[in-house]
Structure 1
Amino acid sequence: MEPPLAPPPPSLAVLLLLALALFGSAGLTRSLSITSADQSMFEKAQGEKVTLPCTFVLSEEDEGPLDIEWVLIPADNQKKEQIIIMYAVDRIYNHYYAAMTGRMQFTSSDPRSGDGSLDILNLKSADTGTYQCKVKKAPGVQSQKIQLTVLVKPARTKCSVEGSQEIGKDVTLKCASQEGSPLLSYDWRRVSGTQELPATSTLNRNTGELLLKNASQEYSGVYSCVASNRVGADECSIELNVTPPINTAGIIAGAIVGTLLGLSLLAFLVFCCCKKHREKKYEKEVHHDIREDVPPPKSRSSTARSYIGSNRSSLGSMSPSNMEGYTKTPYSQVPSEDFERTSGQNQTFPSSKYGIAHKIGDITVV
């Protein structure tokens, strides 16, 4: 039996490649390196805190000044990178990015210790983006990119009913959140009764619609909807009340009767108003006519009229020729009531040029 053959000696080329690999690995271990390159994606909820890692190791060959820089890489390649925070010459500069002022800081109070991680507080949806950590210490230079996604929890979720809630009709329960990062998932459940969805129901988890076909009174009850995503959930509820069909004919008849009664009442009111207006107008006209026909009230001039009447009667037998020089007694000279009331005294009037005198009672009129 022949002894086994010995393996052939390695060739010169193989030995040269092994030497280069060992030399290269030795050189890498002696240069600056970032040790937190394992996790490159983070998902956090709005309002929470996130720590973007950036730990590094320096070598003896890195003798230049330490420079740590965090930048935000925009989604649009046409835009420039935005410096967020920087450590240089033993100082921290954090006034470059106004949108995060007061909400960011280095995790370590002394980044020279090898920890250049970044803390972002009270996260906002606008903080979503790609962040890059650059560590420089000449001649070593290393960088690392991290993708941050800020998710918004579902909030202000509202439930509603679409369709007629009558027996035999199709009813749709709707659920929608006013806030929340996609992808949102909706789930309906029955709170009261059997706590199981009806057999004829169909659920769309993406849109939040629950279709109930051929509804019956057994479908009545309280239903709850839960909207959720990877960072949170929100809930709303609504009550479904399935009733028998409404008597449409009765409603129409009632509406017609009510309308007719309303019109009748309106016509009666208009008639009453017109009648009252006519009565007021008639009263005004009658009152105006009465005021024009009523004779003036008696006054103290009645005595004077009696006096003048008697005087005219006494002169009735006179001829026109005898009236030429007759002058009427002025109204202001007519005797007053005091004069008439004087009794037992004989008053003598001056005789006219005609010398005609008449005696009235105790008074002699010329």
Structure 2
Amino acid sequence: MIKVLTMEGRISTLILLCLVLSGVGAIQVNIPQELYENVRGDNITLPCSFTPKTPLKGTELVIISWSAEGAQAGAKEILILTHYSLNKQTDVTSPYVGRVSLDVDIATGKANLKLFSITLADNKVFECRVQIPGDDEGKRADTARLVVLVAPSTPTCKIQGKVEYGENINLTCLSEEGLPPPTYKWDSRDVRNTPRAPAPRTTDRGGILSLYNISRDTSGYYICTSINKIRSATCNITLSILPAIAPSTPICKIQGMVEYGQNINLTCVSEKGSPQPTYKWESRDVKNTPHVADPRTTNKGGFLSLYDISTDTSGNYICTSSNKIRSATCNITLSVMPPSMNTCPTARIICVVIATLIILIIIIVCCYCKKKKV
């Protein structure tokens, strides 16, 4: 058993030695790294070296080419340039004219590709290939991937929600650019510019800072930092939350003429209140029973609009102004007369005018008669 194992070991060694020797005396092309990371806009060099089977005398034809293909599977390969050693000519393909050059030295085996002002379109796998007639064994090409990095653009900070006492809001932060994608972190300072720890319920995830039940203590300066391996950028938001103020007693008013068949508005407004108060109208008829609302009646923002009013509209109207602190009320009593009663004052005026004219006629006639007797 020991002899068998020894024999197998010798065979393995011989196979390995043959594989090593097979590469000796054949061309070797090498790019030192498999991955290169550079920042967008940089001028870079992708190094490539080659060692021929036998030292070159300077009279041999050496063809050096660089090509690139997308990192995704099945991407099309694009030729970048080809160099011919005998006439020292380098042909650059049209997409890369003015963007590349070849730093070449045949004697030392240098074939470096220089790329200028790299862009995101250069996120590719690059291949360096060397061809020497009669030297077609060994490793004739090597590849490396170029990853173009982009620093985060200046992020945009925004507020989602109402900046009012007791509300929940989100502060958002987003960079339009960044590769690798940036991460985000929020920091805050109070109104005295003192750093502070976030409230227990506050969350900071993916550039969204969620603030709950905000109050005057939430006021201050909020800074978002967008960062990746290139650099960082910031934006900021200043929050100013006013102290909570209960609504002042609202003022109720009537807009329009309280007459049968007219359209009127009842208004309600509190001059003070933080958060901003909301308003609600309710009404009861002359028997103190809740009114059945007319379908046309509207109740928005403290305005109660009543249409084609009648005796049924009469009653007590109560407006409630409220916020998260407390509420306050005001009221208006409406008394809408029927049409017959509305015309009585006019009839009285007509009667008085007629009576006055009759009296004047009597006085004139009497005066005339007395004058005639005299």
SS at match of 2:176: strand
- 1:45 maps to amino acid: V
2-side partners of 1:8 and 1:75: how far apart? 51
**Deviation of 1:201 (Å):** 5.1
Identify the residue that residue 213 of structure 2 maps to in structure 1: 214
SS at match of 1:166: coil
Contact 2:49 2:109 in 1 (8 A): yes
SS at match of 1:218: helix
1-side partners of 2:239 and 2:221: how far apart? 6
CA gap of 1:29–1:244, structure 2 versus 1, over 3 A, is same
Identify the residue that residue 48 of structure 2 maps to in structure 1: 54
Identify the residue that residue 62 of structure 2 maps to in structure 1: 66
1:19-98 matches, within 5 Å, as 19-37=14-32, 39-60=33-54, 65-75=61-71, 80-90=76-86, 91-98=88-95
- 1:110 maps to amino acid: D
**Deviation of 1:185 (Å):** 0.4
Identify the residue that residue 228 of structure 1 maps to in structure 2: 227
SS at match of 1:179: coil
Q: TM-score, normalised by structure 1?
A: 0.59
- For each residue in 1:288-315, what CA deviation from the matched residue of structure 2 results, as whole angstroms up to 9, or x when unmatched? xxxxxxxxxxxxxxxxxxxxxxxxxxxx
CA gap of 1:59–1:205, structure 2 versus 1, over 3 A, is farther
Identify the residue that residue 145 of structure 2 maps to in structure 1: 147
- 1:149 maps to amino acid: V
Structure 1: runs of 5 or more not aligned = 1-6, 258-366
Identify the residue that residue 348 of structure 2 maps to in structure 1: none
- For each residue in 1:60-115, what CA deviation from the matched residue of structure 2 results, as whole angstroms up to 9, or x when unmatched? 188962121111123565554111122123434242142x3222222x34244212
- 2:42 maps to amino acid: E
1-side partners of 2:5 and 2:180: how far apart? 59
- 1:224 maps to amino acid: I
- 1:174 maps to amino acid: T
Which protein shows a greater Rg? 1
Contact 2:165 2:244 in 1 (8 A): yes
- For each residue in 1:30-82, what CA deviation from the matched residue of structure 2 results, as whole angstroms up to 9, or x when unmatched? 21113434x21122221123322211212218896212111112356555411
**Deviation of 1:226 (Å):** 0.8
**Root mean square deviation of aligned Cα:** 3.2
- 2:228 maps to amino acid: N
**Deviation of 1:211 (Å):** 0.7
CA gap of 1:166–1:22, structure 2 versus 1, over 3 A, is same
1:223-302 matches, within 5 Å, as 223-245=222-244, 247=247, 253=269
SS at match of 1:26: helix
Contact 2:104 2:112 in 1 (8 A): no
CA gap of 1:120–1:256, structure 2 versus 1, over 3 A, is same
Contact 1:85 1:92 in 2 (8 A): no
**Deviation of 1:159 (Å):** 0.9
2-side partners of 1:78 and 1:144: how far apart? 18
- 1:83 maps to amino acid: L
- 2:48 maps to amino acid: C
Relative to its length, the structure with more helix (as a share) is 1
Structure 2: runs of 5 or more not aligned = 252-266, 272-300, 304-374
1:154-169 matches, within 5 Å, as 154-169=152-167
Which range moves more in the overlay, 46-55 or 246-255? 246-255
**Deviation of 1:245 (Å):** 4.8
Identify the residue that residue 125 of structure 1 maps to in structure 2: 120
Percent identity among equivalent residues?
Answer: 25
CA gap of 1:97–1:150, structure 2 versus 1, over 3 A, is farther
CA gap of 1:16–1:151, structure 2 versus 1, over 3 A, is closer
Relative to its length, the structure with more strand (as a share) is 2
CA gap of 1:210–1:77, structure 2 versus 1, over 3 A, is closer
Contact 1:82 1:97 in 2 (8 A): no
Q: What is the aligned length?
A: 247
**Deviation of 1:13 (Å):** 6.7
1-side partners of 2:84 and 2:203: how far apart? 57
2-side partners of 1:157 and 1:217: how far apart? 27
- For each residue in 1:230-280, what CA deviation from the matched residue of structure 2 results, as whole angstroms up to 9, or x when unmatched? 2222111110111135759679627989xxxxxxxxxxxxxxxxxxxxxxx
Contact 1:71 1:85 in 2 (8 A): yes
Identify the residue that residue 136 of structure 1 maps to in structure 2: 131
Contact 1:61 1:139 in 2 (8 A): no
